[in-house]
Amino acid sequence: MQNLSPDPAVRITYRDAVREALRDALRGNPLVFLMGEDVGCYGGSYAVSKGLLEEFGPERIRDTPLSESAFVGAGIGAALGGLRPIVEVMTVNFSLLALDQIMNNAATLSHMSGGQLSVPVVIRLATGAGRQLGAQHSHSLEGWYAHIPGLRIAVPATIDDARLMLAAALASPDPVLLFEHLYLYNMEGELTPGLASVDLDHAAIRRPGTDVTLVSYGWSLYKALTAAEALSKEGIEAEVLDLRILRPLDEATIIASVRKTRRAVIVDEGWRSGSLAAEVTTRIVEQAFYELDAPVARVCTAEVPVPYAKHLEDAALPSPARIVAAVHSLIGAGRSD
């Protein structure tokens, strides 16, 4: 396959990685188009699509009215008609206005038609908190969508995944929701040299360890990595697992890691009640209960609408300090002395 990676010395932002992924998709397939609020003249709410209107024109870069139900529905219809639409939703909170279209149409039509219909739509959503945007723009609802059969839920956390996951999503015959954490757009990094593609099936071990598994995704991955570095200075080696795909979950990688370390902390920016963290915890207990040295712990967002005030927002969200504290509680619980 063609090497898409730049010179290793050249750094790229997460935002630019997504933009280059969009540009490649638009150049490579005339059936691909981008639609959503402010994606054209304004260049996207997070400047991801800046410059694409000038390059590809208004037929391929379509500004839409402020009606999520309308333009998500239009994207689903375009996919049914044979096109490859990429629909951008400004913030995951607003996607609830199109939940009927996503759940009752995109996720179900293939099953209800006995496979005669497919809905190859890609929906990109900005998710997460940390930027003081208030409760209506800051929640992490990807765990809700991971509950729905018929959807594939992907969460690119790294520069590689931001650059390459869109192509994999467009190749899927099923609807794919790509959740891009808004805090990551300014993150800089380097593409892995020689890496030309990624899959939509597997989790990834981002840091090997032997004493505890930190299961995370999105922006929380970097909080887990920070916590792992702090724990390492204490002689505790944490393995950090990036879920990458929330539906279907890569159970094999999760269970293999937990069986090795015998302890697990799930880091999830969603609320604790009914969370993705609860689902991962249950699967670990179902499949590796007798190999655990301590109960599975969860670090989630406080059970409140995400606050606007910076100190309250920080207090509500998972943090490296809270992850370290959770690991300490597990290490203590597993001691026999």
Q: Given the residues 37, 88, 137, 139, select the one marked as catalytic.
A: 137
Closest CA to 60 of 76, 45, 49, 46: 49
**Whether residue 180 lies in the annotated active site:** no
- Residue 170 near residue 189, CB atoms below 8 Å: no
Q: Given the residues 20, 68, 142, 180, select the one marked as catalytic.
A: 68
Which helix (H) or strand (E) covers residue 40, if one does? Answer: none
- Residues with Cβ within 8 Å of 238's Cβ and at least 6 positions away in sequence, in order, are 207, 209, 211, 212, 213, 214, 224, 227, 228, 231, 232, 261, 327
Q: Which long-range contacts (CB under 8 A, 24 or more apart) does 316-321 make?
A: 316/129, 317/129, 317/130, 317/269, 318/220, 318/223, 318/267, 318/268, 318/269, 319/223, 320/223, 320/224, 320/226, 320/227, 320/230, 321/227
Please give the single-letter amino acid code of residue 302. Answer: A
CA distances from 308 to 242, 267, 321 (A): 28, 22, 21
Distance, in Å, from the CA atom of 244 to the CA atom of 168, rounded to the nearest integer, reads 13
**Whether residue 68 lies in the annotated active site:** yes
Task: Compute and round to an integer the Cα radius of gyration of the chain.
Answer: 20
Instruction: Give the Cβ contact number of residue 151 at 10 Å.
Output: 22
Q: Which residues are designated catalytic?
A: 68, 137
